[in-house]
Structure 1
């Protein structure tokens, strides 16, 4: 059996990384061994939009409203392909790759996600206007989390 699986210090170090970064799971592999440390994600409270006075309507607007308030349902949602740390610029003193309201081209870099000391470019899947940028630079992101919305 590999020393990696028996090393409690390594497991504690990985658990500390989870706590420091806010990630919910981390995995390392070495030759024919691997360790995965996971914890239940913290409960996140979302802010609901302020209630709006009811107005008479002839057609139901619920599906349209759900798509407008839930970025994950938007057809232009850009989701994270991995767990990591998001960076909105190539270096701390450089301007951001993109800003909300900007026109973006298909394949244009929107941000970087650092995972396992590798910076991965997150590119626009299609051309359009960047309507929402849902992450802050230096923030941890989860797999399949919505990062941005392009109209």
Structure 2
């Protein structure tokens, strides 16, 4: 490999890292073909920050106008917004939730399970990439706020750990 190709590859990788940062992505993977027997495989990734729970207040008139919408929240053990719970684990990205590694496999967690820091709680698929969501601390799973296949937004509460 010549120095010019090496310099171009470094520039290419730096551009990928900037793209990763500018678009708040956690991972990019690219294969660059130079010829039949010459290619460059690049995977640029960064640890997804564990997002703090996003505080979202529901407007008072909407809650008063739609009492049926308030009923599911009242059915839970905690009447407040789960995103405000100090043990809430929030989604670090937009994607689709998967509760197990593959169809038919046991779920990563169930209510009542005790998890250690770093244990996989669930997977959020984003752009065909399976992102394992780790437990930010050790604790007991008291609530699971999402179901298998549910879409989630950035900052959405996924699980409550106590």
List per-residue Cα deviations over 1:59-83 (Å, max 9, x = no partner).
xxxxxx9x76321111110000101
Return closer, same or farther for 1:118/1:71 CA change in 2, 3 Å cut-off: same
C-alpha distance in 2 between matches for 1:91 and 1:70: 31
Higher helix proportion (structure 1 or 2): 2
The answer on whether the counterparts of 1:81 and 1:143 sit within 8 Å (CA) in structure 2 is yes
Matches within 5 A, 1:24-63: 45-46=69-70, 47-49=72-74
Q: Which residue of 1 aligns with 2:112?
A: 101
Return closer, same or farther for 1:49/1:124 CA change in 2, 3 Å cut-off: same
The answer on whether the counterparts of 2:117 and 2:135 sit within 8 Å (CA) in structure 1 is yes
Structure ID, larger Rg: 2
Gaps of 5+ in 2: 1-61
Q: Which residue of 2 aligns with 1:78?
A: 89
Q: Give the structure-1-normalised TM-score.
A: 0.57
List per-residue Cα deviations over 1:82-108 (Å, max 9, x = no partner).
010000000011000010110010110
Cα RMSD for the two superposed structures: 2.3
Return closer, same or farther for 1:48/1:95 CA change in 2, 3 Å cut-off: closer
Q: What secondary structure does 2:74 align onto?
A: coil
- How many residues are matched? 94
Q: Which residue of 2 aligns with 1:23?
A: none
Gaps of 5+ in 1: 1-42, 51-64
